Amino acid sequence: MFATIITVLRITSAVWLVAGSALGATGDQPIDLSKYELHSVYENDFRRPQKISREEDFIERLPGGAWRRTGRPPSDAEWIAEGWGGCIIRDGKLWVAPSEFDEVGQPKAVNASRRSHMVVWNRRVFPADFLLEFGVNHCGSTNGLTIVFFCTTGKNGQDIFDPALPPRRGDYKTYHSGALANYSDAYWSRNNEEEKASNRLRRNPGFIQLAVGESLTAVPMNRAHRIRILKVGGHIEIEVNGRVVLAYEDSKDPLGAGRIGLRSMEGVTKVAYGNFKVWAVERK
């Protein structure tokens, strides 16, 4: 699907993996929006009451151990959480953790076998061309990984909650090499030093790495980050804390409208998301 010649370039302080159509780095600059018109389609500061639905409530386990869907999320759910960890809205943040939260908003202590990876989807199907912005704080976590999925559908174009699709339950391979199509950006990691220093854009299914840029989330450990993603046609830019860290042109059949999901690995102690905003984007 993509060019087989891969060249590694070093531009300013960023590392870029070029898979046929990676674009030049912009150094210390944010995304240039001067060529676009933006129209707000969604904004959530997590200060209003809103319903979180759990995938566990509309799937069931069969006698042989396999899982299947029994229905769709309720129509009044603002967020749909996959995995059996914690997911709550409190103090103007969406909090996610690998175990359930206690009454004062802290993840409960559980053994390793009961910790869960988590993916939380917004209820909306967002347009093909958009600007996404959200804040994220990993609350001093020293392990794990967080990812944002976007343009997500079934790989045959279905909605991701189509009853015919298999349950996912936070299992990573079901998001990158299963029944879904999406782009994913791994913008924060403490799994190893290489991941900690890099931002990695992929296309799924297939876990196809498109581009690698600088992380800009390596230090300090306990701070909020602002992530912005621009996607127009096949053009994708990832901005972290006011700087574009990678840009890529998916010139062959780019993905279109779909859902946005927030993933955290079970190693992340807890993560707080804030000020989730999406604009539809048109070229001027």
pLDDT score for 13: 36
Please give the structure tokens belonging to residue 125.
Answer: 């199907």
Whether 229 is covered by a domain: the verdict is yes
pLDDT score for 184: 98
pLDDT of residue 187 exceeding 70, the answer is: yes
Helix and strand numbers, DSSP H then E, in the chain? 2, 20
pLDDT score for 23: 60
Tell me, rounded to whole angstroms, the distance of Cα 55 from its chain centroid: 17
Whether 12 is covered by a domain: the verdict is no
- Mean residue pLDDT across the chain: 91
How many domains, the chain?
1
Whether 17 is covered by a domain: the verdict is no
Maximum pairwise Cα distance, the chain: 57
pTM over 0.85: yes
pLDDT score for 216: 95
Could you report the per-residue pLDDT of 237-251, keeping only the tens digit for each? 999 999 999 999 999
Which domain, by its residues, includes 182?
24-283
Tell me what percent of the residues of the chain surpass a pLDDT of 90: 88
Here the CATH number for the domain that contains residue 144 is 2.60.120.200
Whether 18 is covered by a domain: the verdict is no
Could you report the per-residue pLDDT of 193-234, keeping only the tens digit for each? 999 999 999 999 999 999 999 999 987 767 899 999 999 999
Average pLDDT on 50-68 reads: 97
Confidence of residue 121 (pLDDT cuts 50, 70, 90): very high
Whether residue 271 contacts residue 149, with contact meaning beta carbons closer than 8 Å, is answered with no
pLDDT score for 6: 29
**HSE-up (13 A, CA, CB side) for residue 104:** 1
pLDDT score for 7: 29
pLDDT score for 219: 78
pLDDT score for 252: 87
pLDDT score for 27: 65
CA-CA distances (angstroms) from residue 48 to 30, 89, 151? 30, 9, 26
Average pLDDT on 143-147 reads: 97
Confidence of residue 22 (pLDDT cuts 50, 70, 90): low
Tell me what percent of the residues of the chain surpass a pLDDT of 70: 90
pLDDT score for 213: 97
pLDDT of residue 97 exceeding 50, the answer is: yes
Whether 267 is covered by a domain: the verdict is yes
pLDDT score for 3: 34
Whether 117 is covered by a domain: the verdict is yes
What is the C-alpha to C-alpha distance for residues 76 and 82, in angstroms, rounded to an integer? 17
pLDDT of residue 30 exceeding 90, the answer is: yes
Whether 29 is covered by a domain: the verdict is yes
The candidate with the shortest Cα–Cα distance to 118, out of 71, 167, 82, is: 82
Please give the structure tokens belonging to residue 99.
Answer: 């175990």
Whether 214 is covered by a domain: the verdict is yes
Could you report the per-residue pLDDT of 69-81, keeping only the tens digit for each? 999 999 999 999 9
Q: Is 115 helix (H, G, I), strand (E, B) or coil?
A: coil
